[in-house]
Amino acid sequence: MQKPSKPYDNKRIFWDVDPEKLVFEKRASFIIERVFERGDVEDIRMCRRFYGDEKIGEVLLNAKFLPLRKVYLASAILDKPLTAFRCYTLRQLNPELYPY
């Protein structure tokens, strides 16, 4: 399968920055975290083909925040336990208030 020309397809993921000025290799951590946080399945697939699972795993295991459902998705994709993810461990250390 051919490597895509960019790691995402939707401009809505990067609504707050100019996507044309992003340097994909230099800002890889920012792009990977943002694609996993706000992208859909196709965006995540493109990101995996662009960066590879090794780079994706390195970035996501050290990310400070990801939505919980995306942590579960990353855990399944990378075949890593939830406790290996920094954002999951930080979430456990800072529990949320009970929703009454």
Where are the domains positioned within the chain? 11-93
Q: Long-range contacts made by residues 23-28, C-beta under 8 angstroms, separation at least 24? A: 24/50, 28/55, 28/59
CB-based contact 50:7 (threshold 8 Å) = yes
Looking at mean pLDDT, say which of 5-14, 15-24, 66-75 comes out highest: 66-75
Q: Please report, in angstroms and rounded to a whole number, the separation of the first and last CA atoms in the chain.
A: 50
Tell me, what's the pLDDT at 21?
A: 83
| Residue whose token pair is 């456990």 | 92
Return the closest-CA partner of residue 35 out of 14, 5, 53: 14
Average pLDDT over the chain, rounded to an integer = 86
**Cα dihedral sign for 61, 66, 68, 72?**
negative
Q: What is the pLDDT of residues 45-86, one digit of tens each?
A: 999 999 999 999 999 999 999 999 999 999 999 999 999 999
